[in-house]
Amino acid sequence: MPKRQRRLISIVSLLLVVGFLVTSLTSFFVSRASLRTQIAQSELPLTSDNIYSEIQRDLLQPIFISSLMATDTFVRDWVLHGEQDESHMVRYLQDIRTRYRTVTSFFVSDRTSLYYHADGILKKVSPTEPRDVWYYRVRQMKDDYEINVDPDLANRDTMTIFINYRVQDYDGKFIGATGVGLTVSAVKKLIENYQERYNRRIYFVDKDGIIRLHGRQFPDKTENIHEMPGLKRIADEVLAQPAGVFVYRADGKTIHLHTRYIEEFKWTLLVEQEEDRAVRSIFHILLINLTICGIVIVVTLTLTNLTIASYQRTIEQMATTDKLTGAYNRRALDVLFQEAVLHAERTKEELSTVLVDIDRFKRVNDRFGHAAGDLVLQHIVKTMAAHIRASDVLCRWGGEEFLILLKGCSLEQALKMAEKLRMEVERFTEPYEGNEIKITISLGVAQYRPGENEDSLLRRADQALYKAKRNGRNRVEKEDGEAGGETG
C-alpha cells in the first residue's frame, strides 16, 4: 500500500473512531445524567409517596384504632366508675382485636396499674420493672401517642410494634394508656413487598438515626445510620430535614436516597436506589453501540481502502497508459527506461530498443477516417503485445510511432524480434465498412551502451528507423545501416 494511501486510511480511521467514540460516550453521559435527574426528581419521590400512601393504609390504621380507643366513652366511663367488672374491659379489647385483626389490644389503668389484655388481666405495671418503662414514658410525654417496638409479654415475647395512646378523662387528666400492636414480622413483610414491587431498599429510622424497621436485605448488625458506610457522612443532614434528596457512595456504588418524615410515626422513611443497577442497561447499550461502531468502522475502512486502491490503479493507469491503445505512454517510459537501465547495469545484461512506425498511416485516416485509423492502432498494439515477452515494455511514442524496450536482449536477438513483428503486421488485414485495410510497419533497432542516457539511445534508434523509411519502408534496420529483414 502506498505511503499516501496508508496516511489517508489512518486519517479516515482516526476520524471514524474519534467520531463514533465522542458520539457514543456523549450519548452515554447525557443518558446517565438524565437518568440521575429522573431518579432524584421523579422515581424516588414518587416511590416515597406511594409507600407513604400505602403506609397510611396499612400501618396508620392501628394509630386510628388506638385513637378511637383512647376517646371511647366506654373506656373513660368504665375507668371513672371504678373499673367495676373487669370482664367488660376484656370483652371490649377482644372485640377490638377481632374486628380490626390486630395482634394485641390493651389498656393500662393509671389508678390501679392493672394491665388489661384481650385475654384477661396480664399484670400490674411497676416503675421498677424494666419492661414497664414504656408506660411511665407515655405517662409523662406531651404527645398523644408513640410508636414503640418491644417484646409482647402476652404473645411469647414476639417483637411487636405498639401504638401507645394516652387516655384522658373529660377534664384532660391522664387516666391510663391504651392501644394495639402489630408483629414486626408482619410489618417487615409489608416493607419487603414494597422493596420487591419498587426495586428499592426501604427502612425507617427515628430522630436519633436508630433503624426501627427494615426488610431482610439489610446489613447485619447495623443499628444506626451513623454506622452505615457512606451514609454516616450525611446522617445528621438527613435527620435534620423533613424531606430531602441525597447521593452517597458505598462499597463502590452510587446510591440515591430520598427521605420523608412521617409525622404519625415520628420516624423518617428512607428509600434508596442503586444507580449502577439502573445505569447497567445504559452501559450495555453503550457496549452494543461501540460494537456496531467497530463493525461499521471495519466495513467503512475496507470499502474505503478498496475504493482508494481502485481509484489509485485507475489514476496510475490513466497517468501511465495510452487511453486508445492501452500501451504505456511517454511519461511512463521515463520511469521504465531508468528501471531497465539500472537493471541492465546491475546484472550486466544487454538492453535493446525497437522504434516502430506505421507506414503511410496518414493515407488510412484520409481514406477511411480517424475511426478506422484508431482501429488500426489498437490492432497493431494488440499484435505486438502478443509477440513480445512479459518483461518487455511497449510504449506509444507518438501518433503512429511505438517504442519497445527489450530487457536481456542483444542487438541480434532484437533484430529477430523486430523482423517477427514486421511479418505479423504485414499479414494484418482490418475489415472496415466493406473494405480491407492493409498495413505495414518500419522498425529501427539500437542496443544500449553502458553509461548512455535515454536521449542518446532513442536518437540512434530513430536514425535506424529513418534508414528503414528511406530504404523503402516495411523493413527492419539497425543503426549501422545493415538490414535486419526485408520484404517486397
Burial code (b: 16+ CB inside 10 Å, e: under 16) for 370-393 equals eebbebbbebbbebbeeebeeebb
Q: Which residue has the cell 475489415?
A: 431
Low-confidence ranges of the chain (pLDDT < 70): 1-5, 28, 31-43, 46, 55-59, 154-155, 157, 159, 184-187, 217, 264, 276-283, 286, 308-309, 311-319, 480-488
- The pLDDT value recorded for residue 262 is 81
Alpha carbon of 152 to those of 104, 112, 147, 156, 190: distances in Å?
Answer: 9, 21, 14, 6, 20
**In this predicted model, what pLDDT tens digit does every residue of 419-441 receive, in sequence order?**
999 999 998 787 888 888 888 99
Contact 341, 437 (CB under 8 A): no
Q: How many residues are listed for the chain in this entry?
A: 488
- The pLDDT value recorded for residue 183 is 72
- The pLDDT value recorded for residue 487 is 38
State the pTM of this model. Answer: 0.47
Q: Which residue has the cell 473512531?
A: 17
**In this predicted model, what pLDDT tens digit does every residue of 24-34 receive, in sequence order?**
777 767 766 66
Measured CA to CA, the distance from residue 65 to residue 445 in angstroms comes to: 125
**In this predicted model, what pLDDT tens digit does every residue of 174-224 receive, in sequence order?**
999 999 987 766 667 777 887 787 778 888 898 899 988 887 767 777 889
Alpha carbon of 69 to those of 170, 192, 213: distances in Å?
Answer: 14, 30, 25
- The pLDDT value recorded for residue 482 is 45
Q: Which helix (H) or strand (E) element contains residue 222? A: none
Backbone angles phi and psi of 213, in degrees to 5: -140, 140
- The pLDDT value recorded for residue 484 is 47
